[in-house]
Structure 1
Amino acid sequence: MNEASLTALFSLLAGLILLSAFFSSSETGMMSLNRYRLKHLAKTGNRGAKRAQGLLQRTDQLIGVILIGNNFVNILASSIATVIAIRIWGDAGIAIATLLLTITILIFAEVTPKTLAALFPEKIAFPASYALGPLLKVLYPAVWLVNLFTGAILKLIGVSAQDAASDHLSREELRTLVNEAGALIPSKHKDMLVSILDLEHVTVNDIFVPRNEVVGIDLDDDLDTIIRQMRSSQHTRLPVFKGDINNIQGVLHLRNATKLLMEEDLNKAKLMQLCREPYFIPESTPLNTQLINFQKEKRRFGIVVDEYGEVLGLATLEDILEEIVGDFTTDYAATSPDIIPQDDGTYIIDGSTAIRTINKTLGWKLSTDGPKTLNGLITETLETIPESNVCLTVEGHRLEILQIKDNVVKAAIVHAAPRRPRPLRS
């Protein structure tokens, strides 16, 4: 073999190794593409993304054309390398060619291109899609034949293409995706997205205002008292009841009563005409369902009742929105009258404060599966209603009862749970 033909064979061998690198990187790049980002890029008009998305719709055909091309060039490269080695080293050239070609393909046609494709899948896959599309059309008969045998073998072992994992994300997968977004999504937006996902796990019972804190209009009061209450109210909507909150007659929007307050002949009958029928909410309704119900009913205010129809309190649209966006105050711990921080690191907390509010405000992790308020948590832990000020420990937090009134814990001092000491290294 003369020098010119040997040079030609070396050039052909180098070209085949480059083609092998192309097929190897294309396979890894295509399989490493983020399917959701790919859909987004395709919708924005990216041509490479559209071509890649089209190829990935039939993964079996894509893998078939890549592997046919890759195996063909690798086998051809092996044959040419063997011919070259025999011409140079004789019969010993077969072993030498096998060793050298294995190392060469491993480094230059497998590991290096696949690593690059895994690191930069879009930069590899999108340009490769321009070549793989036409190549698939040319080699389609061979691809179809290979896939025919492959499909038959998969059926024999009980595997079907319909069993393939779906591209749809579960709730937990979406939560992980949001949390792993890093700096791409601001932390406040992450919290909001995760809160939306958690809405179905939180019920109205977790967020409603208890009945002992409900401010409303009692029709049994005299008219002057009712008018003063309407003029000084900090709320825009007030429940109207007669004698007891369980006897609710309606809900009054104070905006509708503005003109009525200017009339001299104001009476309770005219007041009731402005009231809207009360809207009742079962206490176990998940927040995501209640949010939709508020929208359907065009309501912002509901009366929460238990399974016996007893009024427990009220819930508003704002309460649900706060579960998503957080409290509307910038520093709840500093402004809340229910949680008062002390100089020694303790907190004086009102007994009616919700456990969820304590957890969100102080960053604690008290259990919310049982009692919903601090008073309920204390009485459940003691298994009795305390008759005097006592100290107890709940989930690592030390509590001192400050005030008890009407069999209810009105206030308690709560100490933060001590940090566990780190184990000493030997």
Structure 2
Amino acid sequence: MLWAGGGVLVLLTFSAFFSGSETALTATSRARMLALEKDRDHRAARVNRLIADRESLIGAILLGNNLVNILASSIAAAVFLTLFGEAGVPIATLVMTLLVLIFAEVLPKTYALSNPDRMALAVSWPLRFFVFLFAPVVAAVQTLVRATLRLIGARVEGPVLSAHEEIRGQIDLHHQEASLVKTDRDMLGGVLDLRELSVVDIMIHRKNLIMLDIDAPNRDIVETALNSPHTRLPLYQGDPENIVGVLHARDLARALHQAGGDPDALDIAAVMREPWFVPETTQVQDQLAAFRTKREHFALVVDEYGALMGVVTLEDILEEIVGDIEDEHDVSVAGVTPMADGFVLVDGATPIRDVNRALDWSLPDSEAITLAGLVIHEAQTIPETGQVFRFHGVQFEILERKRNQITRLRVKADRGEADAAL
């Protein structure tokens, strides 16, 4: 009888070990383990090897846990049958359920959740042994399970989420738990967004460009360039579509100094730089790499027909990560202005991404780049001043319109209303 009680105690200890190990290795931080492995911590290296083959790891843990639990229950049933006869089976079931629940499940899992990294490091060596020991049986079970799942048409491929989605989810989770401030979340999210954006999403539209006619008088070119808030200006000849170069304010100032301050003595064609054209489909991440490779900060964006669409700069890309960058030469333009009544005034040309970042909204930006474009896309018409729309849980009121362009809106979160136009 004594040996039976000792055997059950030992088996419950093994059950607690397997249960706690499963929770610890599931909850442990892979980033922390990778950092420890780089510091030559052999236990962390073992943890990473175990986690790398998660299916074999879980299979070994479940096999070991079920073996010890079933064996412990069988021994307890035999003991209670001897003591209480036929009533021993329900008694053994009740007693073992309480023992397994409290000491082999809740207790070790609670500790593992509180100390996942510490416990994962502690159990890595013995668990590695059990994974090796149970490998043949686990492999056979995996084969049977996969065959059964395929028969019923279930998906058995790899993880559903990509690495970037996993990272984004972690960032949002930490922000919700108040361990990551909004500014940091936006910056980290901006880095991940670079591969999902093309240059057309962040470029300065040609409508807002300051361009110079190379055939204009030198004095006019110099005056416009030096008074411009931009340091790089496209030069065209004859037709604004015919871009022949880019004039850099620093190159112009240097040439003007060498000419003794006389604009008429300048050769603009000799001062300008070669234009760099990039297709509108270029990913922002690729453009950033190209800027670094060519050591350039300015490129002209063209569509599939070669028509100029706008320009993209290194600053535009950096602003996608850190937010708006304003220097002493920037012209202040109203973009998003919160009001005391809960509404927000927004320029129609404000990018949807900037609105989402400023107001912590999730308006879709797949069909339109600007807020005005989103309203036109959803309304399927060019709205009149005073019209009010509700899309995606937000109320949009048209305040100003010039020709066919929406220039100013008043918006407010209105998630309780159905999408409609008033």
The TM-score bracket by the shorter chain reads 0.7 to 0.9
What's the counterpart of residue 290 of structure 2?
293
Partner of 2:386: 391
Check whether the contact 1:345–1:415 (CA below 8 A) recurs between aligned residues: no
In structure 2, the partner of 1:173 is: 166
Which has the larger displacement, 69-78 or 391-400?
A: 69-78
**AA of the residue aligned to 1:399:** I
Residues 344 and 412 in structure 2, CA contact (< 8 A), matched pair in contact too: no
Q: Does 1:25 align with 2:20?
A: yes
Q: Is this contact kept in 2: 1:204–1:283, CA < 8 A?
A: yes
Q: Deviations over 1:72-101 (max 9, x none)?
A: 544554465456546655675565445433
Deviation at 1:233, TM superposition (A): 3.5
Match runs of 1:254-333 below 5 Å: 254-262=249-257, 263-264=259-260, 267=264, 270-329=267-326
Q: Which residue of 1 aligns with 2:208?
A: 213
> Counterpart of 1:114?
109
Q: Is the 8 A contact 1:390 1:401 kept in 2?
A: yes
Once residues 156 and 370 of structure 1 are traced to their aligned partners in structure 2, the CA distance between those partners, rounded to angstroms, is: 42
- Secondary structure of 2:319's aligned partner: helix
Task: Determine whether 1:14 maps to 2:5.
Answer: no
Q: CA deviation at 1:251?
A: 0.9
Asked if the contact 1:29/1:125 (under 8 Å) is kept, the reply is yes
Asked whether the 8 Å contact 1:355–1:373 carries over to 2, the reply is yes
Aligned ranges 1:10-159 → 2 under 5 Å: 10-59=5-54, 62=57, 66=61, 69-70=64-65, 73-74=68-69, 77-78=72-73, 80-81=75-76, 84-85=79-80, 88-89=83-84, 93=88, 96-134=91-129, 140=133, 143-147=134-138, 149-151=140-142, 153-154=144-145, 156-157=147-148
Query: How many angstroms does 1:328 deviate by?
Result: 1.6
Answer with 1 or 2: which has the greater Rg: 1
TM-score (norm 2): 0.74
> Residue 234 of structure 1 aligns to which amino acid in structure 2?
P
- Paired with 2:368 and 2:358, the residues of 1 have a C-alpha distance of 18
Q: What SS does the corresponding residue of 2:210 show, helix, strand or coil?
A: coil
Instruction: Decide whether aligned partners of structure 1 residues 229 and 418 sit closer, same or farther in structure 2, where only a CA change above 3 A counts.
Output: closer
Question: Is residue 2:247 matched to residue 1:252?
Answer: yes
Unaligned runs of 5+ in 1: 1-5
Letter in 2 for 1:188: T
Distance in structure 1 (CA, Å) of the matches to 2:28 and 2:7: 32
CA distance in 2, matches of 1:84, 1:150: 32
Q: Give the C-alpha shift of residue 319 in structure 1.
A: 1.5
Q: In 2, distance between residues paired with 1:164 and 1:110?
A: 30
Q: Secondary structure at the match of 2:272?
A: coil
**Is contact 1:294–1:317 with CA below 8 Å preserved after alignment?**
yes
- How far apart, CA to CA, are the structure 2 residues paired with 1:370 and 1:25? 48
How much does 1:150 deviate? 2.4
For the 8 Å contact 1:250–1:275, the answer to whether it is kept is yes
Task: Indicate the residue corresponding to 1:193 in structure 2.
Answer: 188
Residue 242 of structure 1 corresponds to: 237
Q: In structure 2, the residue corresponding to 1:255 is in which secondary structure? A: helix
SS in 1 for 2:325: coil
Residue 236 of structure 1 aligns with an amino acid whose one-letter code is T
Q: C-alpha displacement at 1:288, in angstroms? A: 3.0
- Aligned counterparts of 2:374 and 2:43: Cα–Cα separation in 1: 59
Shift of 1:397: 2.5
Pair 90,211 (structure 1): closer, same or farther in 2 beyond 3 Å? closer
Q: Is the 8 A contact 1:64 1:146 kept in 2?
A: no
- Please give the secondary structure, in 2, of the residue aligned with 1:251: strand
Q: Which structure 2 segments of 5+ residues have no match?
A: 418-422
Q: 1:268 to 1:298 in 2, by over 3 A?
A: farther
Q: How far did 1:278 drift?
A: 0.9
Deviation at 1:253, TM superposition (A): 1.8
Q: 1:218 to 1:38 in 2, by over 3 A?
A: same
What's the C-alpha RMSD, in Å, of the aligned pairs? 4.4
Question: Which residue identity lines up with residue 14 of structure 1 in the other structure?
Answer: L
Q: Which residue is equivalent to 1:3?
A: none
Cα deviation, residue 300, structure 1: 1.3
CA distance in 1, matches of 2:189, 2:141: 42
Moved more, 319-328 or 169-178: 169-178
Matches of residues 357-372 of structure 1 in structure 2 within 5 Å? Answer: 368=365
SS in 1 for 2:220: helix
Contact 1:346 1:413 in 2 (8 A): no
Q: Would you say the 8 A contact 2:219–2:264 is kept in 1?
A: no
Query: Contact 1:78–1:98 at 8 Å: present in 2 too?
Result: yes
SS in 2 for 1:250: strand
Contact 2:350–2:371, Cα closer than 8 Å, also in 1: yes
Are the counterparts in 2 of residues 398 and 415 from structure 1 also a CA contact under 8 Å? yes
Equivalent-residue separation in structure 1 for 2:17 and 2:355 (angstroms) = 58
| Cα contact 2:34–2:48 (8 A) shared by 1 | yes
Task: Kindly provide the amino acid, as one letter, of the partner of residue 146 in structure 1.
Answer: V
